[in-house]
Each structure stands twice: as C-alpha cells, then as structure tokens.
Amino acid sequence: MSQNGHSQSAELQTFVVYVEDRPGVLNRVASLFRQTGYNIQSLTVGHTEKEAVSRMTIVVEADDMKARHIEAKLYKLVNVLRVENITYQPSVTRDLALIKVQADEKTRPDVIQVVDVFRGRVVDVTSESLIVEVTGTQDKIVSMVDVLRPYGIIEMVRTGLVAMGRGPNAPAISPEFVQARVPEESAAK
C-alpha cells in the first residue's frame, strides 16, 4: 500500500476522459495506449449533455503510478478537455451484453428463467435460439454468461464499461479549469 492507501500493484483503473467531438480523437487516444504498451481492457465513447463534447470511459490495468502517467499523457493530447481517474471514487458502473443462446422448445423455459433471475430480457426469439440483453456490473454479466454457457452460447457482444461518479456535481470540462497532475520524475523511476 502507498501512503494514500491505494495499491501499488496493477489493478483495473477507470478513467473518464472528456474530449472534443472531432474526427481522429479516438484514434489519438487509442494510439497513446498502444505507444505506451498499456492494454485497454474496455473503451466506450459517447456524446455528453454538452454539445461537441464526447465522453470516453477507459479501463486499463495499471498500478497507481502508471495511472498517473496515463492521466498526464492523456492531458498532452490536443483534443482532451478533462481526465478523471475514478477508480477510488464512489461511482456507478455498467456494462451491456447481447448474448445469443441455443434454445429449442425443451430448453427455452430454462434459459428464460435464468434470464429472469439476472434481470435480463429476451430481445429476439427463433425456433433454435434466443438473444438476451443484460445490463449491470461486469461481475453480473460474467456470472450470467457462466450460467448460460451449458445451454450453448452461439455469439456474444459487450459494450464495455461506462462509469459515472456519484453525487450531485459534474466535473468542469472547460479547458480553462483543467490542471494536469504530472508525477514527479524521481518517483517514476
């Protein structure tokens, strides 16, 4: 443990990155991770309530020091307006999955019962399969996949994690309010 109580071993770090909604921004952000050798576990991008601003949720495996370096490097990108590492902040996280499962007349009621237990919903039915939609934490989705696997998962797609800090305040995303926290060089060695 470090002095601030955070782990120095690699763990999943969650960044919320506000960017200008312009062509090429996603490529520049992804390239930054490629160049530094960090594997992105999850990356989602969408519009925000503010016109011309998009929000990325990026999950990457890194210790606290590497996370601070990632934050500083993201701030160096031209179209990045704000970066927040919300790993240790109270937040709400969700993932969405569509899962196509084998389900004939005999197994369909059992599969539907599993879907109901996980508070998912059936969004498509054929004579030999179902497509199931489930939203929740990553653990919930993994658990549902584990239970559905014996029936035969034909295909699956997940959106990736989206996250939002709890509470009544939203971060300021205007560039004039942003200050990067650059780690000290001596601590990085």
Question: Is the per-residue pLDDT at 174 higher than 90?
Answer: no
**Confidence band (pLDDT; 50, 70, 90) for 167?**
confident
Domains within the chain, CATH numbers bracketed: 11-89+167-188 (3.30.70.260), 92-162 (3.30.70.1150)
- What pLDDT digit, counting tens, does each position of 46-65 carry? 999 888 999 999 999 999 99
Question: Is the per-residue pLDDT at 68 higher than 90?
Answer: yes
- Environment class of residue 26 by beta-carbon count within 10 Å: exposed (0-12), middle (13-18) or buried (19+)? middle
- What pLDDT digit, counting tens, does each position of 100-145 carry? 999 999 999 999 999 999 999 999 999 999 999 999 999 999 999 9
The distance of Cα 61 from the centroid of its chain, to the nearest Å, equals 12
